[in-house]
Amino acid sequence: MSILRKKADEFRQSLQACQSYFVTAAIFSLAINLLYLAGPLYMLQVYDRVISSASEITLLMLTLALLLAFMALAGLDAVRARVLTRTSIRLDRMIAPRVMTAIIDHSAKIGGARSQLLRDFDTFRQFITGSGIHAVFDLPWSPIYIAVIFCLHPFLGAFALGCSIILVLMAFLNEWIVKPPLSESSEAANRNYSFTEMSLRNTEVVRAMGMTAGLLNRWSRDRDRMLERQVAASDRAATMQSMIRFLRLSMQSLILGLGAYLVIERMTTAGAMFAASILLGRALQPIEQIVGSWRSLVSARGAFLRVRDLLGANPPRQSGLTLPRPEGRLSVEALSFAAPGTSKPILRGVTFQIEPGEVLGIIGPSGAGKSTLARHIVGVQAPSAGAVRLDGSDVSSWIRSSLGEHLGYLPQDIELFADTVAANICRFKDGDDKDIILAARMADVHEMILRLVDGYDTQVGEGGAILSGGYRQRIGLARAVYGNPSLVVLDEPSSNLDAEGDAALADCITQLKKRGTTVVIISHRPATIGVVDKILVLREGVAEMFGPRSEILARLTRPVPVPAVRGATG
């Protein structure tokens, strides 16, 4: 098996690691289904022996044995449910962190969050503990029950076999009828939930600009489509389930009629007649349960495939370079990048190099690719061509967690996590309080944090909702400089800052430079550009100019000669 095949089957391998749990559940299913035979056996003995012999002692002993069997059955059924619950928990502990990592990598590639994929994993995990999986374990016993009915009488067995074949065909018909609207309903629901999440992330814009009515119209259209397909799927599933229930009940009654005919013809006994009815009901029950749980089965299968594809498309890094702390020499070599599905590149052959401790300012018009370049420098996006090297090593060859310790990154859109200020600054590591305070002081936010209700222990809310834009930007800057990184990339770090904040940012960059930290900053503020050593001018994805600050500024401010306009002659 190739490496790619192994990566694609990562989810399946995790399920195979839980094989012992499934085997245990299957063994319990064996015992449970054997104990289900106690009912038909009791019926046989009562009708064929107890009634004819009028033995009360025999009836009492048989009844006690039946109750003990049913008590054991109930206990084993509860234990089986617990085993499957533990299977779900083990699967979660084995693969959930890997799924979350893959979601983060996938979201970085496509530029958006996909929390639905984690819900897909939970959908599959919860299926393992549901009633549908119990029916799957019981289904292999249906042929055994039918074989026992054959032992009672061949005619009864043939009738039971025909009934089971009819129900199996009905189950396939159910899939053919229900699957299309169910799949469409699932896709519509995912789109609706994604649009809802996006709307909730932009509530300020929605309320400020009176967009609620328009958004509700769009949201309602998506939701109506979802409900329409859900109703279609539910109606079809309910119709099929009712038909199958009708067939099962009719078959159980008809086998009694066939058994009564055989009793009249002295070809079998009354006990066998009733036992055959009970056994047939037990043989057909798993099929009916599977049809009843078809919606969850289809959802679980779809969720499994989506999570498997996610893991296959975002494989774990099996190996990487654990290099010593980099000095900060940054080289960008013929870097090009085009977004998936587009032909026009965002970056085209960008090349430059800066030495450790230097500060590079990247300027250019909107849409020039500055933020895209910043994401490539920190390794968030992979280039279409070229490379980004830190101390000569391609950033893609580093182990991500190892590289992250030496990088600081302040994105243009600042998102804080729903935790304390301290946890956000120290990147959720078990950091020393002194290092947290040092980073806050470098960002000139220490005094501001102390003025919060609980200081560094203040809960910032989802996305830092309780903080102003300036607060969030300062705390994001403290997070970027935490841990004395070798390379710090700041994307428009002063967009929410006032003049005092600009001065604090310039001072922070100066301190980083004294430490020997390489800094890349995207900004147009004079206070920030004044502390850079080199400037890169980016225009339409191309490095138009690169060099020392004074030289580039001189070229940018050089007057352009305007040709004289000749006067018009009469």
Q: Is 301 within 8 Å of 317 (Cβ atoms)?
A: no
Angstrom distances, CA of residue 231 to CA of 112, 181, 223, 296, 318: 30, 9, 12, 15, 46
Phi and psi of 65, rounded to 5°? -60, -40
Q: What is the pLDDT of residue 379?
A: 85
How many C-alpha atoms does 275 have within 13 Å on its Cβ side?
Answer: 28
Q: Return the ∠ at Cα 355 (arms to 352 and 356), rounded to 5°.
A: 140
475 plus 340 within the same structural domain = yes
Q: Which residues pair with residue 487 across a beta bridge? A: 407, 518
Q: What is the pLDDT of residue 319?
A: 55
76 plus 107 within the same structural domain = yes
Residue 562 is assigned to a structural domain of this protein:
no
CA dist 570 and 564 (Å) reads 19
511-570 residue pLDDT tens: 999 999 999 999 876 667 888 899 999 988 899 889 998 888 888 776 555 555 454 443
420 plus 461 within the same structural domain = yes
* Residue listed under structure tokens 């043989």: 283
Question: Which range of residues forms the domain containing residue 530?
Answer: 330-557
Residue 392 is assigned to a structural domain of this protein:
yes
Residue 56 is assigned to a structural domain of this protein:
yes
445 plus 372 within the same structural domain = yes
Q: What is the pLDDT of residue 31?
A: 92
158 plus 252 within the same structural domain = yes
CA dist 551 and 533 (Å) reads 10
CA dist 480 and 464 (Å) reads 16
CA dist 427 and 440 (Å) reads 13
C-alpha of 211 from chain center: 30
365 plus 469 within the same structural domain = yes
Tell me how far apart the terminal alpha carbons of the chain are, to the nearest angstrom: 87
Question: Got the DSSP string for 416-485?
Answer: --SSBHHHHHTTTS---HHHHHHHHHHTT-HHHHHTSTTGGG-B--GGGTTS-HHHHHHHHHHHHHTT--
353 plus 384 within the same structural domain = yes
Task: Report residues of the chain scoring pLDDT below 70.
Answer: 1-8, 108-115, 201, 204, 317-323, 525-527, 558-570
79 plus 166 within the same structural domain = no
412 DSSP assignment: S
321 DSSP assignment: B
Residue 459 is assigned to a structural domain of this protein:
yes
Q: What is the pLDDT of residue 560?
A: 52
Q: What is the pLDDT of residue 389?
A: 92
33 plus 4 within the same structural domain = yes
Residue 142 is assigned to a structural domain of this protein:
no
Q: Which two tokens stand for residue 50?
A: 């107890």
CA dist 324 and 190 (Å) reads 44
Q: Is 262 within 8 Å of 156 (Cβ atoms)?
A: yes
Q: Is 561 within 8 Å of 568 (Cβ atoms)?
A: no
Which phi-psi region, left, alpha or beta, contains residue 108 (left: φ > 0; alpha: ψ -120 to 50)?
alpha
344 plus 477 within the same structural domain = yes
Q: What is the pLDDT of residue 352?
A: 93
Sheet with 407-410, side-by-side order of all strands: 407-410, 487-491, 518-522, 359-363, 534-539, 542-548
Domain count, the chain: 3
Q: What is the pLDDT of residue 46?
A: 83
164 plus 123 within the same structural domain = no
Closest among 441, 116, 107, 93 to 302, alpha carbons compared: 116
Q: Is 330 within 8 Å of 390 (Cβ atoms)?
A: yes
Residue 138 is assigned to a structural domain of this protein:
no
Contacts of 403 (CB under 8 A, 6+ apart): 379, 390, 395
Q: Which two tokens stand for residue 503?
A: 């001065």
396 DSSP assignment: G
Q: What is the pLDDT of residue 388?
A: 92
Q: What is the pLDDT of residue 74?
A: 93
Q: What is the pLDDT of residue 244?
A: 85
C-alpha of 74 from chain center: 36
Residue 324 is assigned to a structural domain of this protein:
no
Residue 72 is assigned to a structural domain of this protein:
yes
* Residue listed under structure tokens 């009912």: 39
The CATH number given to whatever domain includes residue 254 is: 1.20.1560.10
299-313 residue pLDDT tens: 888 888 888 888 887
Q: Which residues pair with residue 336 across a beta bridge? A: 385
Sheet with 385-390, side-by-side order of all strands: 347-354, 330-337, 385-390, 393-394
Q: What is the pLDDT of residue 441?
A: 92
* Residue listed under structure tokens 């500060």: 359
The CATH number given to whatever domain includes residue 496 is: 3.40.50.300
- The predicted model scores a pTM of 0.69
Q: Which two tokens stand for residue 559?
A: 């007057």
Helices (runs of H) and strands (runs of E) counted in the chain: 23, 10
Q: Which residues pair with residue 538 across a beta bridge? A: 543
478 plus 336 within the same structural domain = yes
Q: What is the pLDDT of residue 197?
A: 74
